[in-house]
Structure 1
Amino acid sequence: MKLAGAITLATASALAYSQDVIKIGELNSYKTQPAFLGPYKMGMELAVEQINEAGGVNGKKLELIVRDDNSNPGDAVRAAEELLTRDKVDVLTGTFLSHVGLAVTDFAKHKQRFFLASEPLTDKIVWEDGNHYTYRLRASTYMQVAMLIPAAVKMNKKRWAIVYPNYEYGQSAVTTFKTLLKQAQPDVEFVAEQAAPLGKIDAGNVVQALADAKPEAMFNVLFATDLAKFVRAGTQRNFFENLSVVSLLTGEPEYLDPLGAETPVGWVVTGYPWYAIDTPEHNRFLEAYQKRYDDYPRLGTIIGYNAILSLAAGIDKADTTETEALVEAFKGLEVDTPVGRITYRGIDHQSTMGAYVGTLAIKDGKGIMTDIEYIDGASVLPSDEQVRQWRPASAN
């Protein structure tokens, strides 16, 4: 029965590929995370337009079919099923929130269909819960935390506080931060920890609880509206004065721009300083995006753009959208992107796309990143030996 099912899936994929278009099924949390996913969709659309104008992939045009997952794992699985059965898509991509990404990762495993998780950050997607059919584009929580550890160690602070959204992304980021900082600085103490419900932070009480512990430094994992509320409450209470901070994602325009003049100066962050990147590949992308949309890109734009580039490169290499051929094609796949060349690792299906690290400042009433450095994702990935301990042997 399993063989018959596999043949049916392969036949369906081959029939779809034989048509004039390649259908990319994308599902995401557009309604609940518009700041990131609006620009993300625009990045995807730009990449599709450019590829189609250049002749498509193996002579076939790309078609993007989008569904909303309502930030709900159950809705995401239903949307993925609909994309496969009703829309007859050739490949699946997308998801934003980590627990939603994990649900679709499991769906791809059981349906034996290729899935490129473009944005969710949880390490489990490629390690503990990794599977044969799923690859991931964006630098994970482990990778981005590892990028911040050198700055945290350089701060030479002993008493650390932690604040994070209480779901998979925040929990995994905190676990990694504690582990890596302890390894680098054994005498560190974690004196306060606040886990806020996603999108429902009681910012004043959270700030007060952290301040009561008298920390010397803080690791922040909050983003979006939770971050804005937290920064405002912390500023009003002078909590950030003389407090050293490292922070995930805060330098991304989606979350930095709304802070404006309230930007917490001096925080060391990961982000996307589009205005300060001067490379030929990024300049070409920036010019094309601004010409198309009369706007500046956000990090979501880059993720969406790179997801389509990756799928196009993988399908071109495989010369088919058949699942097993795509899985093999993505092993060691190299893709030239606006942030440089990235590679999809065969051992864990994680791409080497990196991130920018810098220090927050204010210019003309707006938050910016200064002293930026692009950290190649390959430099902060765990060893092959460590991956083998985390990832199921059956996942490859």
Structure 2
Amino acid sequence: MFQDRLLKKGLLASVMASAFVVSAFSSSAVAEDKKEVKLGVVTFLSGGAAGPFGIPARNAAELLIDAINKGQLPGAYSSVGLAGAQIAPIFVDENSKQKVADYKKLVQKDEVDAVIGYISSGSCKAIAPVAEEEKKLTVFFDCGTSQVFEDIITSPKYVFRTSAHATMDNVAAARYVVDTVKDVSTYSGINQNYAFGQDSWRDFSGSMKVLKESAKSVSEQFPKVFAGQYGAEISALLTKKPDIVHSSFWGGDMEALVIQGGGRQLFSRSKVVLTGGETGIERLGSQIPDGTIIGARGPNGPLAEDSALNDWFVKAYVDRFKSLPTYPSYHMAQAILGVKSAADKANSTDQAATIEAFKGLEFEVPSGKISMNLAGGHQATQGTAFGTYKFDKASGKGTLVNIKRYNAACVNPPEGMKSLEWIESGFKGAVCK
């Protein structure tokens, strides 16, 4: 259950200071109680991943929490709080060498009622089993490795992830390449040497083997995560001259690759696919070469379709932070909205009730519909989209053209099948509209 709260002093006196307690998230709490939910929010607040990733995610958390507490969200989310409870966030920097200790401090010392967090797949791999041991509702908002539920905790109870895992990104990237690029005979990859990068290349190259059997992989580069300098890897790619270069680089690494690779003509000699390139559109502008294929780990940012919720989110974010929300912002928003949807559905903020309502939940977010339909209802799927970058000199802004959308059943494995198994089966059961 979520952390217990003592009833008000006057009520305690009436029962002679007994140890009677009631959950902060309990629907049985007396009406005069002031309800408050402590929410741990973990994201990069320092280091190379903070600017393009962690701060936009924190911004979205602040925006959504304020709006929920005041009942200012549109439509189905207009009610105040989480089942009426106010949210009190505690922000923690993911850029730490003691991530597990930081998590345990949130749970044991700060006594948070739930945790939303984690951008790095390495963080999620470390935290997932700890969250299950601590029996604390924990919602991963961004990390992409499919290993979390396919290998590490295969029967989750307390851990959820409200964004689709990276298999979606890389299957869709391969489909987009086959759909839009003529005469692809060779492809290569440059991906970070840890779970997310390894999984991403595995899924993209595996998908290419199925979708474009005649094309061959000619180079696989795995530099250290956050290395920052990629001269040797770029040289290797230029030597092989592949038609396609795939990269799941994110944050500062992605921006460094664009700047360094662009300067050495990598993007003009090969068609480069950046599955997480959307975060660089506003930050890099004309430095991203035209023709680069860009994804946003879901239909986020410029890939989001029109909706009242997305209109509200973009306007509110720009008004407050003077910049457009990027996909880390969208991912944080959908995690918070997932928790609100579950608590409101349960009409309670009791942990057990919230978890039960969360499993298999479908809810709307600024990027569309989220379905919690993998890992026994703990892992989200959604559709996605890719586009091709074009910089408009007149406006001084970049945009995406030739956008293609892929529905959830086309790019996510079905329940009961691991990602690699599904890809190697030729996408058994996939339904592409």
Q: Place the TM-score, normalised by the shorter chain, in its bin.
A: 0.7 to 0.9
User: Is 1:97 aligned to residue 120 of structure 2?
Assistant: yes
Note the 1:68-107 alignment, pairs <5 A: 68-72=93-97, 75-107=98-130
Aligned to 2:9: none
Give, in angstroms, the shift of residue 276 of structure 1. Answer: 7.5
Aligned to 1:360: 389
Query: Relative to 1, partners in 2 of residues 1:232 and 1:10: Cα closer, same or farther, differing over 3 Å?
Result: closer
Aligned to 1:27: 42
User: Is 1:264 aligned to residue 289 of structure 2?
Assistant: yes
Give, in angstroms, the shift of residue 388 of structure 1. Answer: 10
- Cα distance in structure 1, aligned partners of 2:90 and 2:404: 35
Note the 1:221-240 alignment, pairs <5 A: 221-240=248-267
Aligned to 1:16: 24
Describe the SS at the equivalent of 2:202: helix
- Cα distance in structure 2, aligned partners of 1:44 and 1:373: 29
Structure 2 contact 131–158 (Cα < 8 Å) conserved? yes
Structure 1 contact 247–267 (Cα < 8 Å) conserved? yes
User: Is 1:50 aligned to residue 67 of structure 2?
Assistant: yes
Give, in angstroms, the shift of residue 230 of structure 1. Answer: 2.3
Judge which range, 216-225 or 285-294, deviates more: 285-294
Point out where structure 2 has 5 or more consecutive residues left out of the alignment.
Answer: 6-21, 72-79, 422-433
- Cα distance in structure 2, aligned partners of 1:94 and 1:378: 26
Q: Which amino acid aligns with 2:56?
A: P
Note the 1:103-142 alignment, pairs <5 A: 103-130=126-153, 131-142=156-167
User: Is 1:39 aligned to residue 56 of structure 2?
Assistant: yes
Aligned to 1:176: 203
- Cα distance in structure 1, aligned partners of 2:2 and 2:307: 41
Give, in angstroms, the shift of residue 29 of structure 1. Answer: 2.2
Point out where structure 1 has 5 or more consecutive residues left out of the alignment.
Answer: 1-8, 391-396
Aligned to 2:380: 351
User: Is 1:296 aligned to residue 333 of structure 2?
Assistant: no
Structure 2 contact 170–204 (Cα < 8 Å) conserved? yes
Query: Relative to 1, partners in 2 of residues 1:388 and 1:327: Cα closer, same or farther, differing over 3 Å?
Result: farther
| TM-score, with length taken from structure 2 | 0.80
Aligned to 2:427: none
| TM-score, with length taken from structure 1 | 0.88
- Cα distance in structure 2, aligned partners of 1:58 and 1:277: 29
Q: Which amino acid aligns with 2:149?
A: V
Structure 1 contact 157–216 (Cα < 8 Å) conserved? yes
How many aligned residue pairs are there? 379
Give, in angstroms, the shift of residue 387 of structure 1. Answer: 4.4
Match of 1:312 among 331, 340, 345: 340
Give, in angstroms, the shift of residue 234 of structure 1. Answer: 2.5
Give, in angstroms, the shift of residue 118 of structure 1. Answer: 0.6
Query: Relative to 1, partners in 2 of residues 1:330 and 1:237: Cα closer, same or farther, differing over 3 Å?
Result: same
Describe the SS at the equivalent of 1:266: coil
Aligned to 2:170: 145
Structure 2 contact 171–411 (Cα < 8 Å) conserved? yes
Structure 1 contact 44–308 (Cα < 8 Å) conserved? yes
RMSD over aligned CA atoms reads 2.5
- Cα distance in structure 1, aligned partners of 2:391 and 2:274: 16
Aligned to 2:431: none
Describe the SS at the equivalent of 1:344: strand
Structure 2 contact 387–404 (Cα < 8 Å) conserved? yes
- Cα distance in structure 2, aligned partners of 1:389 and 1:322: 37
Larger Rg: 2
Give, in angstroms, the shift of residue 311 of structure 1. Answer: 0.8
User: Is 1:162 aligned to residue 192 of structure 2?
Assistant: no
Note the 1:326-337 alignment, pairs <5 A: 326-337=354-365
Query: Relative to 1, partners in 2 of residues 1:273 and 1:12: Cα closer, same or farther, differing over 3 Å?
Result: closer
Aligned to 2:276: 249
Query: Relative to 1, partners in 2 of residues 1:148 and 1:210: Cα closer, same or farther, differing over 3 Å?
Result: same
- Cα distance in structure 2, aligned partners of 1:380 and 1:199: 28
Aligned to 1:324: 352
- Cα distance in structure 1, aligned partners of 2:247 and 2:172: 14
Query: Relative to 1, partners in 2 of residues 1:322 and 1:98: Cα closer, same or farther, differing over 3 Å?
Result: same
**Structure with the higher helix share, 1 or 2:** 1
Report percent identity of matched pairs.
Answer: 25
- Cα distance in structure 1, aligned partners of 2:364 and 2:174: 28
- Cα distance in structure 2, aligned partners of 1:201 and 1:190: 25
Describe the SS at the equivalent of 1:196: coil
Q: Deviations over 1:366-389 (max 9, x none)?
A: 432222344444442112241499
Q: Which amino acid aligns with 2:412?
A: L
Give, in angstroms, the shift of residue 68 of structure 1. Answer: 1.4
